[in-house]
Amino acid sequence: MSKIPVGVLGAGIVGQQYIALLKEHPWFEPRFIAASPRSAGKKFRDATAGRVYHPGIVEAVGDIIVSDANDVSAALSAAKAGNCAFVFSALELGKDEMCALENAYAAAGIPVISNASAHRWTPDVPVLIAEVNHHHTDIIPVQKKARGWDKGFIAVKPNCSIQSYTTPLHALIMEGYEIKRLIVTTLQAVSGAGYPGVPSLDMIDNIVPYIGGEEEKTELEPLKILGTMENGVFKNAEYPKISAHCTRVPVTDGHSACVSVEFGDKKPSIDEVKRIWASFKSLPQELNLPMAPKQPIIIRDEADRPQPRKDRDADKAMAVSVGRIRPCNVFDIRFTGLSHNSVRGAAGGGILNAELLKHQGYLA
């Protein structure tokens, strides 16, 4: 069976992560790459010389001529010439520019599976975690109709910082436990800031207790994801209220989160929480999608886990690892969650979204 040709917008950390994961993918094959003008017109191998982060990707796509992502019409022609069924968007542009660019692709009939934050609060764009709100893709026909788009559409994934607790919370909500409030401190990896990203002078013998814009995303995006769709309109969840402290730590990959949770009146025991998490499965698992982890939430029983270096790669780096599940002195329970920010929280999550959309018939 021949693979579906797809495009990747971006040749930085996330763009390369996409290519690295797609290299072995059973359904999709990267055939088109667009990046900044600096890279445009060069072969991928030359455009990324000296800044390749994954073994094997140069061998896989080194001869693809990189298009200029900013020259949308030319890039579109190239994408179409390559018969791209859709594109993964991993560029780093300003919000307006990014929205315009992604709109242009969708308008030209090329669906956009995006990592960018630009469209996350666009009312008719779904923000997808495949295990949590796969039904939010129901908005796509509404989106297409409103925009007058035929084949194209836009679906995005949320910020990497929320992955380590949103799926666990969702699993509890699905079992009838309302979650009222959440106080979370994240310890985030430097790859989340791209390359060159965080200077080493800030990450040797140091942590930085601030990441610009990150706390707002961490507090708000879960509400859209956990929300409902009524009459073709998303209605954000009212709860949980989230307070986030986002910090940067000297870790390459793997965002950790220390979470205190307050439930509504109905409160699960610690054992019940563990039981729910250990047994949680969702649509991607039922469909056995290629990028789906077998077990979306892995419980670590050791006193000192999860840890980034030991647990981030669990199940293709797509599983969320949780540990230290214990009562909270102030709220009801607390735990530590961990997910691989540039796989589960970026390219891997995007590919899983594409697999879901393919299954649902949106990427025919």
**Closer of 66 and 211 to its own copies (Cβ):** 211
Minimum CB–partner distance for residue 320 and its own copies (Å): 14
**Closer of 203 and 283 to its own copies (Cβ):** 203
Supply φ then ψ for residue 146, to 5 degrees.
-60, -35
Minimum CB–partner distance for residue 83 and its own copies (Å): 33
For its own copies, the binding residues (CB under 8 A) are 49-50, 52-53, 55, 181-183, 185, 187, 190-191, 195-210, 212, 219, 241-245, 247, 249-252, 256, 258, 260, 302-310, 313-314, 323-324, 328-331, 334, 336
Kindly name the residue from 119, 134, 255, 340 that is annotated as catalytic: 255
Minimum CB–partner distance for residue 252 and its own copies (Å): 5
Give, in order, the Cα–Cα distances in Å from 322 to each of 297, 304, 334, 344, 347: 7, 11, 10, 14, 21
What is the SS3 assignment for 41? coil
Name the β-bridge partners of 8: 33, 88
Kindly name the residue from 160, 170, 246, 340 that is annotated as catalytic: 160
Packing angle of the helix pair 72-81, 95-107 (nearest 10 deg): 40
Minimum CB–partner distance for residue 322 and its own copies (Å): 11
Distance (Å, rounded) from C-alpha 98 to C-alpha 221?
18
Q: What angle do CA 27, 33, 37 make, to 5 degrees?
A: 165
Minimum CB–partner distance for residue 315 and its own copies (Å): 9
- Which two structure tokens, joined as six digits, stand for 351? 């590919």
**Closer of 206 and 269 to its own copies (Cβ):** 206
**Closer of 97 and 202 to its own copies (Cβ):** 202
Name the β-bridge partners of 247: 187
**Closer of 100 and 210 to its own copies (Cβ):** 210
**Closer of 218 and 353 to its own copies (Cβ):** 218
Concerning whether 160 is annotated as a catalytic residue, the answer is yes
Instruction: Extract long-range pairs of 35-40: CB within 8 Å, 24+ residues apart.
Output: 35/9, 35/10, 35/11, 35/66, 35/67, 35/68, 35/69, 35/91, 36/11, 36/68, 36/69, 36/70, 36/91, 37/68, 37/70, 37/71, 39/11, 39/66, 40/66, 40/67, 40/68, 40/69, 40/71
Minimum CB–partner distance for residue 209 and its own copies (Å): 4
DSSP string, 171-191: HHHHTT--EEEEEEEEEE-GG
Q: Which of the residues are catalytic?
A: 160, 255
